[in-house]
Amino acid sequence: MVKKVVTDLDLKDKKVLVRADFNVPMKDGEITNDNRIQAALPTIQYVIEQGGKVILFSHLGKVKTEDDKADKTLRPIAERLSELLGKEVTFVPETRGKELEDTIASLKNGEVLLVENTRFEDIDGKKESKNDAELGKYWASLGDVFVNDAFGTAHRAHASNVGIASNLESAAGFLMDKEIKFIGGAVDEPQRPFVAILGGAKVSDKIGVIENLLDKADKVLIGGGMTYTFYAAKGIEIGTSLVEEDKIELAKTLLEKGGDKLILPIDTKTTHEFSNDGVIEVHEGVIPSDQMGLDIGPKTIELFTKELQGAKTVVWNGPMGVFEMTNFANGTIGVCEAIANLTEATTIIGGGDSAAAAMELGFADQFTHISTGGGASLEYLEGKELPGVSSISNK
């Protein structure tokens, strides 16, 4: 289904409810990284330019008790947003009631209001997180149209995304639209050849992603810690490498299902213990009993580079090694370089650590799309329907 985008809505004179993702990292009441606020600006600015009244909703962290409120207020976000927009942002320290309703009633076209943390509604009965029907209806009653720009929560059905969308005409914001186009597009109708690269720590975190991409992609390259569970399934000695004994049978099934499509590393960078300071060795095939694999080896980088050549769509989730340690970052760097050299391909990163790795290693500009949602992008790659996306009005 093709979803409405904010540009499909008539916004002039309208009270426009916007669900943004302002779930930013904070320390001692200070915002430590405002990327997510910056990412929400295009949609907010568009609504302002179109002469709409912007009423913003977001969650921040988890709120379980009254005591959590002081740390989880959105007030600092209103201040930062105001600086970034160069415009006053009215903050209402409530999630419902007369003050909120009166302030909305007095908003003029182009003005911006931020409602308090939607999860303050979780203290009494988890109304936000359980998508309480009355709450979604109430919030929807505050506006004329709804724009959902919070991809990071799209895998959850909450009152502030699905609840509001169920009661109002709605559309995707620019950020959400990009995620739908790139991740949804890659998984549902990829340009071929379509190569997926999957790594990260564990098979168990990625079962759904591996299964779905084995179906959809032309090739699936495996790296990272999950490699060794596949090695074990093939009867290859893995030393003290990370392994999930209870997933070896599953790995066997995936190997069978994958056949030639599924490509495992051919060499491994190993060391004695989980540390950046030990002696490093490279082994092809069998890993000695006192060694653990912490990265793919140089021949694998070469192999993966070759397998990526000519790809038209590349989806990457999960670092190839323990990239946080400089001695084991080469595999991830090598894959980033190989992807950067693909000029004809749509290249997409999904997953929190993978996105962080690409940015830290200096490759952020080399990808067509870096997904902003950790859990949401994984579930999207699994081929699951995301309630936050499906609840948006169809075109």
Catalytically active residues, by annotation: 36, 202, 352, 375
Contact 304, 334 (CB under 8 A): yes
Residues 45 to 84 in contact with Mg ion, rule: CB under 5 A: none
Q: Which of 227, 218, 318 is CA-nearest to residue 270? A: 227
Q: Which stretch binds ligand ADP (CB under 6 A): 8-16, 128-136, 174-182, 198-206?
A: 198-206
Which CB atom, from 95 or from 377, has the smaller least distance to Mg ion? Answer: 377
Neighbours of 253 (CB within 10 A): 11
Residue closer to ligand ADP by CB (options 291, 354) is 354
Of 173 and 319, the one with the shorter C-beta distance to Mg ion is 319
> Is the C-alpha dihedral spanning 6, 9, 14, 17 positive or negative?
negative
**Do the Cβ atoms of 269 and 297 come closer than 8 Å?**
yes
If contact means CB under 5 to 8 A according to the sort of partner, which of Mg ion, ligand ADP, none does residue 321 touch?
ligand ADP
d(CA 203, CA 3): 33
Considering the rule CB under 6 A, would residue 200 count as an interface residue with ligand ADP? Answer: yes
- Comparing CB distances to Mg ion, the nearer of 23 and 82 is 23
Each residue 345-364 as x (binds Mg ion by CB under 5 A) or -, in order, gives -------xx-----------
The vertex-121 CA angle with 119 and 123, nearest 5°, equals 90
Site for ligand ADP in 324-353 (CB under 6 A): 324, 351-353
For residue 209, CA distances in Å to 187, 217, 266, 273 come to 11, 11, 22, 29
Going by the DSSP 8-state scheme, the letter that residue 3 receives in this structure is: B
- Taking residues 354 to 383 in sequence order and writing x for each that binds ligand ADP by CB under 6 A, - otherwise, the string is x-----------------------------
Among positions 105-164, residues that touch ligand ADP (CB under 6 A) are none
For the bound state, the minimum distance from the C-beta of residue 295 to ligand ADP, rounded and expressed in Å, comes to: 6
Per CB under 5 A, does 267 bind Mg ion? no
Ordered DSSP codes for 175-200: HHHHHIIIIIHHHHS--SSEEEEE-S
DSSP structure string for 44-90 = HHHHHHTTPEEEEE---S---SGGGHHHH-SHHHHHHHHHHHTS-EE
The residue count for binding ligand ADP (CB under 6 A) is: 19
In the complex with ligand ADP, the residue whose CB is nearer, 125 or 274, is: 274
**Hunting for tokens 């942002």 — which residue is that?**
89
Count residues binding Mg ion (CB under 5 A).
Answer: 2
* 24 contributes a contact to ligand ADP by CB under 6 A: no
Q: Does 224 bind ligand ADP (CB under 6 A)?
A: yes
Do the bridges between strand 170-172 and strand 313-317 make them parallel or antiparallel, or are there none, so unpaired? Answer: unpaired
Quote the least distance from Cβ 321 to Mg ion, whole Å.
14
Task: Pick what 322 binds: ligand ADP, Mg ion, none; C-beta below 5 to 8 Å, kind-dependent.
Answer: ligand ADP
Closest distance of CB 313 from ligand ADP, Å = 18
d(CA 254, CA 214): 8
The type of residue at 5 is: V
Q: Footprint of Mg ion on this chain (CB under 5 A)?
A: 352-353
Q: Which residues bind ligand ADP (CB under 6 A)?
A: 199-201, 205, 224-225, 242, 293-294, 317-319, 321-322, 324, 351-354
